[in-house]
Structure 1
């Protein structure tokens, strides 16, 4: 197979999150007003969930202990019922949620509020492109080439986004221009007119704009793909520890039988140039006779990794637009393995009190 199944699933995320974004865009702006109220706040997102809380600092989030159990799932974080159902299915509530925003969209505080109202840290995957097609690789967008970011063509948009993030006050993890070591996104080097060295320059430019705008509540997540499907050396794409808080990683089990086989070859290369904490920002296993065993092995592997702070499971199915059914709940045996494996893991509790 010339195209990894994973690539198709990742590409679908350029589109399938649209319904959630529409819901966020049409939600009440009351939630955004709460976000600007100060350190003491009550969260009432459009989900209807309300909690009294303190707005934690970025430093508090970075200092939390435990592992993150995150999900990327249709309707989350906008729908509290989706979150409740996922928690019931998994046996424990997730403490992190990922959603996707492309560069035709402004920042909204609503999904951030909704995430915190449900006890989850929001991870915003921010894609420098106008979106894509669910079943076709979209890489040729010259107006979004890395050079246009570097030369300031998008600065008005970036400044507006940064100001909105800052004014929302809540810490937000931003996974910027992910899987950059591949060749299937318009921000990858070697496609869309991009040349060597431009990815780092573009990342630093965006980061510097946020710094000038005092958007200091961002947890910056630099997130390559595992090396099985990618060709550009990761070290050449790393913007430096001063520009990154967490390392992310896309890791989908296709032919591997253990978490060690899937993740550690890439992890060893990453550890040659940074010791930043690692979060597996997309994780899943394709349907197979070994999926339940692989899931059990991963959840046994995770607690032994002091520098891996957690994972985000890709809970989309083929029927929902993904290339295959990656989720941990696609069959009863895998779900049983997940529920058994997640129970003893100490999960992060966000500092909201």
Structure 2
């Protein structure tokens, strides 16, 4: 299994990656980055993409059709970025230009468009902006078609639901968003142990957090599985024990997971591996064993 991290938009050069390997006990094979469509001006992307794709590690690029910062307090309500608008061709010029830029890079790029679509917090989610799961599938296929037309054969397509659906009902289930095995190269699952910070106040083990979602996606496809985002709070339990149990269960229950990418920032809470000395020490001890 390989190790990756997200650290805002910091590009880690070779020296920094060596330092990070010493700190965390594992080579950083993947760096995670996020790019919003914003005003869909391809000129805004050029220097940033050149910077990101100069990385010595593999790149997971999460591509988000929305405007940041949003104009109001409900960022998911951005009807301009509804799934039907994407499929209608409203953004084809931008999509084609972005695809052409990525196609020019002589390296594999792991592209993750419209992630966590089974949630309710992004404009492309299936329960907001009058979207439906079928609209998501149509938008996914439309975007991929434009990339194929741009000869972007270096792209690996990463389909990435959240490990649990919100709202949790059959219409919004993970299966409803699956675009087909021929449309994807890899599956990513995202999940966070919020502990007592969320409404339920429930501390969730890695197995409780990812088990159901993992069983669903591995029944849908034989494609490789990764953890696209994971983090654990310090509120409500012992993070060091959580990390230790994560590594133990990964090797037994989650045998198809090939990459784990940690959301290594202080955001809603301190998700970082090094949020405490005990968490860091436990991670480092296990990382030397499990990450190859």
TM-score (norm 1): 0.73
Match of 1:241 among 181, 188, 196: 181
**Whole-angstrom CA distance in 1 between matches of 2:74 and 2:286:** 35
Aligned residue in 2 for 1:313: 262
Q: CA RMSD in A?
A: 2.0
In the alignment, what sits opposite 2:41? none
Answer with 188-197 or 94-103: which moved more. Answer: 188-197
Structure 2 SS opposite 1:335: helix
Distance 1:210 1:94, change over 3 A: same
Q: Identify which of 154, 162, 174 aligns with 1:225.
A: 162
1:134, 1:330 → 2: CA distance? 32
Quote the Cα distance in structure 1 between the aligned partners of 2:111 and 2:69: 20
Matched, 1:111 2:48: no
Q: Aligned residue for 1:99?
A: 33
**Structure 1 position 68 matched with structure 2 position 9:** no
In the alignment, is the contact (CA less than 8 A) between 2:240 and 2:278 conserved in 1? yes
- Pairing partner for 1:262 from 205, 209, 212: 209
What's the offset of the Cα at 1:203? 0.2
1:329 matched to 2:263: no
**SS of corresponding position for 2:95:** helix
> Does the CA contact (< 8 Å) of 1:286 and 1:326 recur in 2?
yes
Query: Which of 174, 191, 202 is 1:251 aligned to?
Result: 191
Residues 48-68 of structure 1: CA deviation (Å, up to 9, x unaligned): xxxxxxxxxxxxxxxxxxx12
The answer to whether the aligner puts 1:276 opposite 2:223 as a matched pair is: yes
Counterparts of 1:1-353 in structure 2, within 5 Å, are 67-77=1-11, 82-104=16-38, 105-106=44-45, 108-113=49-54, 115-116=55-56, 120-132=57-69, 136-227=73-164, 229-231=166-168, 232-254=172-194, 255-288=202-235, 289-304=237-252, 305-317=254-266, 322-347=267-292
Q: Deviations over 1:130-164 (max 9, x none)?
A: 22359944012222111111111111000000000
In structure 2, C-alpha distance between the alignment counterparts of 1:330 and 1:73, rounded to whole Å: 14
Residues 53-87 of structure 1 deviation map (CA, whole Å, 9 limit, x = unaligned): xxxxxxxxxxxxxx120000135325556544432
After superposition, the C-alpha distances for 1:176-207 in whole angstroms (9 at most, x for unaligned) are 10000011100012211323410000000000
Per the alignment, do residues 299 and 183 of structure 1 end up closer, same or farther by CA in structure 2, a change over 3 Å counting? Answer: same
Distance 1:258 1:135 in 2: 34
Q: 1:324 Cα deviation (Å)?
A: 0.1
Distance in 2 of aligned mates of 1:75 and 1:81: 17
Separation in 1, partners of 2:12, 2:73: 27
Residues 103-126 of structure 1: CA distance to partner in whole angstroms, max 9, x if unpaired? 13535232111x22xxx2100000
Distance 1:163 1:148, change over 3 A: same
Contact 2:118 2:165 in 1 (8 A): no
Q: Which moved more, 1:235-244 or 1:284-293?
A: 284-293
Give SS of 2:289's match.
coil
Judge which range, 212-221 or 138-147, deviates more: 138-147
Cα deviation, residue 271, structure 1: 2.5
Stretches of 4+ aligned residues off by more than 6 angstroms: none
Change (3 A) 1:134 1:125: farther
What TM-score comes out, normalization by structure 2 length? 0.87
